[in-house]
Structure 1
Amino acid sequence: MTAPTHRLGWLGTGRMGVAMASRLLAAGNELTVWNRTRAKTAPLADAGARVADAAGDLGVCDIVFMCVSASADLIEVVELLVAANARPDLIVDCSTVSAQASAQVRSRTAEVGVGFLAAPVSGNPAMVSAGDGSFVASGPEDAFALARPYLEQIGRSAVRVGEAEQSRLVKLCHNLFLGVVAQAWIEVTTLAEKGGVPRADFLEFLNGTVLASDWIRRRSADLITENWSPTFTMALLRKDFDLGLGEARAVGSPMQLAATVHEQIQSAIGAGLTEHDFLALYLEQARAAGLRG
């Protein structure tokens, strides 16, 4: 198969953006990047990317990928792109944002003849850097066909689930599940520890059972050593729980477990753990169990 040769742009060079864009560069693509804080583009510039002076400069690209932190950011940066003299053929958004913001952006890009694909990514920066990210996409079939070769250069899979904003809901369901699994894992680990079983011994046993997963095995060392360096912050998890529970209310789907975990996340943020990795939920659980003051 002939390698794709589109002119690519990348907007948003936080931890996740750098991890994804780096894989496009490593695959041999020419890439132009932009970020509000120019200094954050340095790792990509060092790897061979061209740095644009303004977001609108990416309009000369055929496809612009983006990864931003919040719904308002998506709306703002897309407007910068579509307001420029030159516009891309397709915008591919890899952020985790609300379906409402995504629909607003889709409508705006359609007004000016620009394609839009919602393609949020699953995986933390380390996983994405290793090629273990996964994409769920929604939008027109031809837009997915155009973006798919590049998404598969970044991650190990790209699945299309609908024509509109379905991928936003799927990604929120994923992150709700992640938070519920993490809290359940932390609760049983804390119970074993409170009963006198060393944390490392319990996790060694658990990781040899059918209940373990690649993610639990990978993160066990962090839970043992209490390494809360962020792969995904508590603040971002709360944002996704806010969005996910909002979607559940909108469609009338009960989320009893997720609602309880949402309160635990809020407690952890109230305790000052906002920018810690979300596995720092352990600290709140240990405190409630009397293992911490």
Structure 2
Amino acid sequence: MTYVATDRPRIGWIGAGRMGYRLASRLLDAGHDVAVYNRTRAKAEPLTEKGATVVDRPEELAGRDVVFTMVATSPDLESVTTGPGGVLTASDASPGVLVDSSTVSTQVSALVRAAAAKHGTGFLAAPVSGNPKVIEAGELTVAVSGPREVFDAVQPLLSLLGRAVTYVGADEVARLVKIAHNVFLGVVTQSLAEITVLAEKGGVTRSAFLEFLNNSVMGSVFTRYKSPALVHLDFTPTFTNVLLRKDFDLGLAAARELEVPMPVASATAQLVQAAVGAGLTTEDFASLVLEQARNSGMTLEPENVAVDDGLGGRS
């Protein structure tokens, strides 16, 4: 089967949130014909300035060669694909390829894959690692699973989204890769919060401690990127504690299914829950440092120090 019959495929994009908006923009900037659906239409409308068409229902994208979906939850993915007016429900058309970049359960992913197959649509699970600023820096990474021939057909499009695209295997294994990634993200962030609060309570400024850490062998792209938030206490959300809690739930469920003990992840999941319970629900997940400080008898204050974010900027 030929999944994409042209080297300039007509693209559909479902989900114009913080991530989806910017990724659709990258495809538009590369000169592609992109039609966009978002539940709140007004959030997608600015993309028309880049040449996008905005539609009112996902099923209006059924005639597109490749359709990307990027939504918040497993029920959202079911809704925009197989629910009423979904992209896989049109009677007269179906996309050549459906690429889902949401972070959802393997069970729902498998259901959507089966529904796509009934329509002759190739399906790829393609969750991403990054946030809006990472996208803008061209540093997004993508893990992809599904039929190799489908991946090969759309790999040029996927490569436009960021720095690296990795084919990780068949079926739903990319979901497990992304969930494992996000569990690690939470564990690292909680650990970073703990050691930063420890250093500050001992008399070291957060900026000085993080500068040292970032220049050591323990520094990483991630610790550098989160340093401005920890120093300035600017928790403008890129990924919230509520979404992180969802991914811990998915990760620990996978661990139970596969009989893998995860004591560190389990403890961190409870700390993330404590942060949510304390009201840190809309802030960026770097706000875990606030709950760590509170539990340590401290109230943090912003530091007015320029900090390198590791992505070519200082803030």
1:27 aligns with 2:33: no
Match of 2:39 among 36, 39, 55: 36
Residue 18 of structure 1 deviates from its aligned partner by 0.5
Match of 1:11 among 6, 11, 14: 14
CA distance in 1, matches of 2:212, 2:163: 29
CA distance in 1, matches of 2:46, 2:197: 39
1:249 aligns with 2:256: yes
Q: Write the mapping of 1:134-213 to structure 2, written as runs, cut at 5 A.
A: 134-213=141-220
- Pairwise CA RMSD of aligned residues? 1.2
TM-score using structure 2 length: 0.90
Paired residue for 2:95? Answer: 88
Query: What are structure 1's unaligned runs of at least 5 residues?
Result: none
CA distance in 2, matches of 1:142, 1:204: 45
Residue 292 of structure 1 deviates from its aligned partner by 3.0
CA distance in 1, matches of 2:124, 2:24: 17
Residue 82 of structure 1 deviates from its aligned partner by 1.2
1:238 aligns with 2:276: no
Displaced runs of 4+ in structure 1, greater than 3 A?
none
Residue 111 of structure 1 deviates from its aligned partner by 1.4
Paired residue for 1:123? Answer: 130
Q: Write the mapping of 1:256-271 to structure 2, written as runs, cut at 5 A.
A: 256-271=263-278
Equivalent AA in structure 2 for residue 285 of structure 1? Q
Paired residue for 1:280? Answer: 287
CA distance in 2, matches of 1:275, 1:146: 38
Equivalent position SS for 1:60: coil
Q: Which has the higher helix share?
A: 1
Residue 204 of structure 1 deviates from its aligned partner by 1.5
Paired residue for 2:309? Answer: none
TM-score using structure 1 length: 0.97
CA distance in 2, matches of 1:188, 1:209: 14
